[in-house]
Amino acid sequence: MTVSAKEGFAWIEKHADELTKLSDKIWEWAELGLHEEKSSKIQMDYLRDHGFEVTSGAGGMPTAFVATWGQGKPVIGFLGEYDALPGVSQKVSPVREELVPGGPGHGCGHNLLGVGAMAAAIALKEELSKRGLPGTVKYFGCPAEENFSGKAFMARDGIFDDLDACLTWHPGSMNIVRGGSSLAVNSMNITFHGVSSHAAGAPHLGRSALDAVELMNVGVNFLREHIIEKARIHYVITNGGLQPNVVPAKATVWYYVRAPRREQVEEIYERVLKCAKGAAIMTDTTYEVEFLEGIYEVLPNTVLEEVLAQAMEVAGPPQFTEEDLRFAEEIAKTFPPGQSESYMKDETLPDEMKEKLAGKLLNDTVLGRPPMPSDLRGSTDVGDVSWCVPTAQFSTACTALGTPGHSWQYTAQCGMHIGHAGMIAAAKTLVQAGLVLMTSPGILEKAKEEHRKRLGGRRYVSPLSPDMKPPFHHFDK
């Protein structure tokens, strides 16, 4: 690596307290997907104050925006998120204490993700300005990653098409460039309509929508044996009726269908819909399908992953304190026995990485990139971006090893210095990688060539219809 983002690092360090306060505000607000009004506004205002032109409403979402600085090529983008999860509200405490009873919380660290990526965009602007270099920096404020895949709506509308490369990160428990792909997803509500009646006095006159939901679920559970091993199907019943002595005239089940490839999702999705049709026939009900989201698997880019791995070495790991370690030790006491050590059993990590983690609760070293990255077990709408433009991502340690994602323990650590330290390390990694791409046309061309090869003549075709609107109604404010 021939350049070092010294000016960018200096800007991040100088503004670290400001950035921490921004992330803590977003952590405190903990707004759900598509309703991140305050969280998006505070970022847009900050970006405008630092010389970026900001346009909101990307992809038909008021809380989505694009911030742009500079001119000409190359055009490097950074992805940020700021949506929270329902039900994981938590104080900064190593024991269970809800901040808002039953409320949402940042159990995936998106308060850190957005501010860290935004900081990198501004720091890269400062670096380019001081060096007098051309280029365009873009930061994308992306809503609803947790549930309705805001980036998919943005990708459908061509928001990322002018980029030369795109970078992002995610809070985790390791400083690592994971690489690999992810699972593609379809998400939908299935609502059955029946006929209500007195459940004891006239059950023969009723047609239970809840029966239809339950029969559909039984059919899907039998279907699991006959789909590919790496596919996943999950559901929750979001409306099962109002009280037991009334035959439910309406019932709704929310489904996720996942698989390693987009075409596999489509095939399994059609079979799940046949289970809905069969359940409706059996119960003499009708049903309707509300398609909520459809996203692609991640298209990896090893060229960009290597850039990130080298940038992480230059930027360095998070700087944890003794207080952080004590907090991590207390948090670990809430885990089931052996959970903190479970990462040592991760067969996707080479032995040299496991050695760096041995005996630690906080990953305070840089692990780099595994030589044989494994695919993620989860899903992300970063996948849709990766089909439009060369894209790569990494994680930094913002939580203690063994912390489960989407948990109150995760929320707690993302609102204090453990999370803050990981966010600052991520911002430095991103600005370093961004500068390398801005000043290395050969690397950018190699990344684009790899992208073309992985596409193999295919092109991105959004699973979302041109007139489909984001499901703003799904979470009431």
Encode 108-144: b = buried (16+ Cβ within 10 Å), e = exposed.
Answer: bbbbbbbbbbbbbbbbbbbbbeeeeeebbbbbbbbbb
Q: Do residue 327 and residue 410 come from a single domain?
A: yes
Q: What is the rounded CA–CA span in Å between residue 224 and residue 233? A: 8
Q: What percent of the chain has pLDDT over 70?
A: 98
Q: Do residue 203 and residue 255 come from a single domain?
A: yes
Q: Do residue 448 and residue 323 come from a single domain?
A: yes
Encode 240-265: b = buried (16+ Cβ within 10 Å), e = exposed.
Answer: ebeeeeebbbbbbbbbbbbbbbbebb
Q: Within the chain, what is the greatest distance between any pair of CA atoms?
A: 82
Span 396-404, average pLDDT: 96
Does residue 130 register a pLDDT over 80? yes
Quick check: 186 and 293 in contact, CB under 8 A? yes
Between the alpha carbon of residue 240 and those of residues 210, 216, 260, 476, the distances in Å are 6, 13, 31, 18
Higher pLDDT, 351 or 98: 98
Span 443-451, average pLDDT: 98
- DSSP letter at 205 equals G
Note the pLDDT of residue 296: 98
Q: Do residue 391 and residue 436 come from a single domain?
A: yes
Does residue 258 register a pLDDT over 90? yes
Higher pLDDT, 1 or 21: 21
DSSP secondary structure of 128-146: HHHHT--EEEEEEEE--TT
Does residue 69 lie in a domain region?
Answer: yes
Does residue 98 register a pLDDT over 70? yes
296-329 residue pLDDT tens: 999 999 999 999 999 999 999 999 999 999 999 9
Does residue 110 lie in a domain region?
Answer: yes
- Could you list the residue range(s) of the whole structural domain that residue 228 is in? 184-294
411-423 residue pLDDT tens: 999 999 999 999 9
Span 444-465, average pLDDT: 97
Note the pLDDT of residue 17: 98
Does residue 477 register a pLDDT over 50? no
Note the pLDDT of residue 475: 66
Q: Which long-range contacts (CB under 8 A, 24 or more apart) does 14-18 make?
A: 15/119, 16/420, 16/424
The residue among 294, 312, 347 that closes a domain is 294
Q: Do residue 212 and residue 338 come from a single domain?
A: no
**The domain spanning residue 189 has which CATH number?**
3.30.70.360
Per DSSP, helices labelled H in 391-461 are 408-414, 417-439, 441-455
Q: How many CB atoms lie within 10 A of CB 356?
A: 17
Least confident range from 153-162, 334-343, 352-361, 425-434: namely 334-343
Q: Which residue's entry shows tokens 């000409």?
A: 72
Does residue 1 register a pLDDT over 70? no
Does residue 373 register a pLDDT over 90? no
Compute the mean pLDDT over every residue in the chain, rounded to the nearest whole number: 95
Quick check: 428 and 8 in contact, CB under 8 A? yes
Instruction: Please name the amino acid found at residue 420.
Output: H
Quick check: 414 and 106 in contact, CB under 8 A? yes
Q: How many CB atoms lie within 10 A of CB 224?
A: 11
Note the pLDDT of residue 388: 98
Note the pLDDT of residue 476: 57
Q: Do residue 136 and residue 268 come from a single domain?
A: no
Span 233-262, average pLDDT: 97
Q: Do residue 74 and residue 164 come from a single domain?
A: yes
Q: Do residue 16 and residue 137 come from a single domain?
A: yes
Span 277-303, average pLDDT: 97
Quick check: 342 and 173 in contact, CB under 8 A? no
Confidence of residue 371 (pLDDT cuts 50, 70, 90): confident
SS3 442: helix
- DSSP letter at 75 equals E
Q: What is the rounded CA–CA span in Å between residue 300 and residue 435? A: 21
**The domain spanning residue 417 has which CATH number?**
3.40.630.10
Does residue 31 lie in a domain region?
Answer: yes
Q: Do residue 190 and residue 289 come from a single domain?
A: yes
**Nearest 5°: CA angle at 191, between 242 and 102?**
55
Does residue 38 lie in a domain region?
Answer: yes
Does residue 473 lie in a domain region?
Answer: no
The first and second tokens of residue 288, run together, are: 């309707």
Quick check: 128 and 438 in contact, CB under 8 A? yes
Q: Do residue 44 and residue 69 come from a single domain?
A: yes
Q: Which residue's entry shows tokens 């070495």?
A: 313
Span 370-382, average pLDDT: 87
Instruction: Please name the amino acid found at residue 450.
Output: E
Could you tell me how far CA 341 lies from the centroid of its own chain?
A: 25
Of 195, 200, 199, whose CA–CA distance to 212 is shortest? 195
Does residue 475 lie in a domain region?
Answer: no
Note the pLDDT of residue 351: 86
**Nearest 5°: CA angle at 361, between 88 and 401?**
45
Q: What is the rounded CA–CA span in Å between residue 215 and residue 80? A: 40
Domain count, the chain: 2
Q: What is the rounded CA–CA span in Å between residue 255 and residue 293? A: 11
The first and second tokens of residue 281, run together, are: 């026939």
The first and second tokens of residue 137, run together, are: 């920096």
Q: What is the rounded CA–CA span in Å between residue 368 and residue 61? A: 36
151-183 residue pLDDT tens: 999 999 999 999 999 999 999 999 999 889 999
Does residue 461 lie in a domain region?
Answer: no
Q: What is the rounded CA–CA span in Å between residue 297 and residue 128? A: 33
Q: Do residue 384 and residue 430 come from a single domain?
A: yes
Does residue 472 lie in a domain region?
Answer: no
The residue among 261, 276, 294 that closes a domain is 294
Q: What is the rounded CA–CA span in Å between residue 75 and residue 122? A: 14
Q: Do residue 277 and residue 358 come from a single domain?
A: no
Note the pLDDT of residue 101: 97
The first and second tokens of residue 415, run together, are: 């609102």
The residue among 294, 325, 340 that closes a domain is 294
Q: What is the rounded CA–CA span in Å between residue 221 and residue 233? A: 9
